[in-house]
Each structure stands twice: as structure tokens, then as C-alpha cells.
């Protein structure tokens, strides 16, 4: 099994820049592909800020040295020579299938792994649009990527076992993460459990049973959670929370996955949580 030295990351947003950072910190040459020049600048700034923070906290010797291993561009051809490409673009099935079709044309190494960081789209839907479904799998990181150690490995029914083992070796031995294995079902392990919990907290708030502050304090002080479910939804983003809930509902048709009206109204209002300054709590 060949070692993975050159990594491509498609999408340099919240997750893509985090994935690029951990790969570069592990000594890999990383090419990030973004959609516009403005998004390239934003991704570079995000990477620089995060690496400077890591340097000031003594977690890395030199932010500059790590940054030298990362290029951020708009040309997808830049990932042609990669041994692993991880997709982290918007959670939109049509956008992701288009991208996997394109990656299949662009990436030259027939042994290269094409991975998705999707939270809820079945990996099979991405695998079948390529001519190499055996080399496609889900590698699902958690936010913030440089901090949280978990990675869910999600082979589809068509993924070669050798591909999964190569991905496991990379995330565990090279990136120092902890991998768990999941079936190719919406939500995998963590979101399938976490999203109904968050939705229950929203229903509790919506029914007037308790305030947002008291619901969160209940779980922090009474169950030793690091943050309450409503604060966690604000951190994930209410739009993302709703999108993942909808994927889970579509897959299982269980009421516990149905997005409550309050969540839908808040997303329509643009109250998306931390990223917009207001969700269930306000952020200044």
C-alpha cells in the first residue's frame, strides 16, 4: 500500500480549511481548490489565522513552514497528481455529484482515493457517478478539525476494503485522529444520535417548556455536557442543522428527525447561529 504524500482538498470553507491544515501539519503537500478568487482569499486568511493561533499556543513550531506546504487555487486541474482528494464543498447533492464526475476525469492516479466529508449524503450516490467506485469513500471530520480527534470512515457497498484500510492508516497514523467505522446511512453514527437530541431541545423551547438558557444550563450542569444542545446548534449553524435533519428524515421517515417549525422559521429569517451573530443565543 502506497503512502499518501500529496493531498487535494476541494472547498476551503470551515471544514476544508481545517482538513487542509491538519494534512499540512502532518507534513503533506496540500492543494486546496476553491470556486472564486474571493473564496481563495478567504480560505488563505482562515488558514493563516488558525495556524498563527496554533503557533502562539505552542502547538506548532512555525505557521509559515506549514503554510508553505499549502497552495490555494481555483483550477481543479491542480489536484491531477494527488493520491487522496477530500471534497468539502456545500452540502448539496447535485453540486457534489457534478464535482465527483469532474474529479474522476481530472485525477490521473487510478489508485487515488476520492473522499467526501459530507455529513449526510449517501456515499454511494457519489461513487456511482465515477468509473472508480471502489476508490470512493466518506472521510467525515468534525468541527473544528484541528481540535476534534474523531473521523468517521464510511465505505459504500462498492468501496474496496483496501481503500478503507489505506484511508484508516492515513487518518490514524499520519493525522493522529481516531477513526470509527460507519455504514453508508444518512447521519452515520454521530449525527444520527446528535441531531434528534438537538431537535428535541428545539421542540422543548418551542413548546414553552423552558428557556434556551435553562435548557442549555440543564445539560451543561446536570449532564456534564461541554455545551448545551441549543448552543451546539448555533455552533454547527442552524442552516446546516436543518439540512442534516432533512437528509435524516428523507432516509428514515421517522418523526424524531423532522425539523421543527421554529428551526425552519429561524433559518428563513437568517438567524443561523454564531456565524450570523444570532441563533438561539446572541453573539457579539
Residues marked active site are found at: 119, 140, 152, 191
Nearest distance, CB of residue 114 and ligand NAD, angstroms? 14
* Strand-pair partners of 50: none
Q: Where are the alpha helices (H) located in the chain, listed in sequence order?
A: 14-25, 37-56, 63-67, 93-106, 123-127, 161-169, 190-206, 212-223, 229-236, 238-252, 261-268
Cβ proximity to ligand NAD, 14 vs 271, nearer residue: 14
Cβ proximity to ligand NAD, 54 vs 88, nearer residue: 88
Cβ proximity to ligand NAD, 4 vs 89, nearer residue: 89
What are the cell numbers at 109?
A: 492516479
CA dist 136 and 113 (Å) reads 6
Residue-by-residue DSSP string for 160-226: -HHHHHHHHHIIIIIT--EEEE--SSTTTTHHHHHHHHHHHHHHHHHTTSS-HHHHHHHHHHHH--S
Site residues for ligand NAD, window 159-218 (CB under 6 A)?
none
Across the beta sheet with 178-181, the strand order is 70-73, 29-33, 6-10, 84-87, 113-116, 136-141, 150-155, 178-181
Q: Does residue 241 interact with ligand NAD by CB under 6 A?
A: no
Of 28-36, 156-164, 177-185, 251-259, which segment contacts ligand NAD by CB under 6 A?
Answer: 28-36
Nearest distance, CB of residue 276 and ligand NAD, angstroms? 13
Nearest distance, CB of residue 39 and ligand NAD, angstroms? 4
What are the cell numbers at 165?
A: 484500510
The single residue among 4, 8, 9, 11 that binds ligand NAD, judged by CB under 6 A, is: 11
Size of the residue set binding ligand NAD (CB under 6 A): 25
Cβ proximity to ligand NAD, 89 vs 198, nearer residue: 89
Cβ proximity to ligand NAD, 89 vs 212, nearer residue: 89
Nearest distance, CB of residue 75 and ligand NAD, angstroms? 11
DSSP label at residue 282: B
Q: Does residue 95 interact with ligand NAD by CB under 6 A?
A: yes
Nearest distance, CB of residue 244 and ligand NAD, angstroms? 7
The single residue among 9, 99, 115, 267 that binds ligand NAD, judged by CB under 6 A, is: 99
Q: Does residue 248 interact with ligand NAD by CB under 6 A?
A: no
| Cα→Cα distances 192→65, 182, 183, 240, 253, Å | 39, 11, 12, 14, 13
Cβ proximity to ligand NAD, 93 vs 160, nearer residue: 93
Site residues for ligand NAD, window 121-150 (CB under 6 A)?
142-143
Question: Which phi and psi (to 5°) does residue 112 adopt?
Answer: -60, 145
The single residue among 33, 63, 107, 186 that binds ligand NAD, judged by CB under 6 A, is: 33
Nearest distance, CB of residue 63 and ligand NAD, angstroms? 21
CA dist 221 and 218 (Å) reads 6
Q: How many other C-beta atoms can be found within 10 angstroms of the C-beta atom of residue 176?
A: 11
Q: Does residue 118 interact with ligand NAD by CB under 6 A?
A: yes
- Provide the binding-site residues for ligand NAD, judged by CB under 6 A: 10-16, 33-35, 39, 88-91, 95, 99, 117-119, 142-143, 236-237, 240
Amino acid at each position: 500500500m502506497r503512502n499518501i504524500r500529496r493531498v487535494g482538498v476541494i472547498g476551503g470553507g470551515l471544514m476544508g480549511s481545517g482538513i487542509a491544515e491538519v494534512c499540512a501539519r502532518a507534513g503533506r503537500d496540500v492543494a486546496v481548490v476553491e470556486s472564486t478568487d474571493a473564496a481563495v482569499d478567504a480560505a488563505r486568511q482562515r488558514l493563516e489565522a488558525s495556524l498563527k493561533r496554533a503557533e502562539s499556543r505552542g502547538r506548532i513550531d512555525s505557521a509559515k513552514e506549514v503554510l508553505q506546504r499549502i497552495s490555494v487555487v481555483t483550477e481543479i486541474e491542480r489536484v491531477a497528481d494527488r493520491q487522496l482528494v477530500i471534497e468539502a464543498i456545500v452540502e448539496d447533492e447535485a453540486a457534489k455529484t457534478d464535482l465527483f464526475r469532474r474529479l474522476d476525469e481530472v485525477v490521473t492516479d487510478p489508485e487515488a482515493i476520492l473522499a467526501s466529508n459530507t455529513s449526510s449524503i449517501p456515499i454511494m450516490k457519489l461513487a456511482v457517478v465515477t468509473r472508480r467506485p471502489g476508490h470512493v469513500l466518506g472521510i467525515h471530520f468534525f468541527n473544528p478539525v484541528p481540535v476534534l480527534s474523531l473521523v468517521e470512515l464510511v465505505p459504500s457497498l462498492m468501496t474496496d476494503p483496501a481503500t478503507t484500510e489505506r484511508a484508516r492508516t492515513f487518518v490514524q497514523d499520519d493525522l493522529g485522529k481516531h477513526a470509527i467505522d460507519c455504514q453508508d446511512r444518512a447521519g452515520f453514527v454521530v449525527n444520527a444520535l446528535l441531531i434528534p437530541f438537538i431537535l428535541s431541545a428545539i421542540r422543548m423551547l418551542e413548546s414553552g417548556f423552558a428557556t434556551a438558557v435553562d435548557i442549555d444550563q440543564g445539560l451543561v450542569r446536570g449532564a456534564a455536557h461541554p455545551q448545551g444542545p441549543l448552543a451546539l446548534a448555533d455552533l454547527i449553524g442552524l442552516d446546516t442543522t436543518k439540512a442534516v435533519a432533512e437528509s435524516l428524515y428523507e432516509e428514515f421517515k421517522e418523526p424524531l428527525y423532522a425539523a421543527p417549525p421554529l428551526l425552519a422559521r429561524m433559518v428563513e429569517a437568517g438567524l443561523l447561529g454564531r456565524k450570523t451573530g444570532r441563533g438561539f443565543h446572541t453573539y457579539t
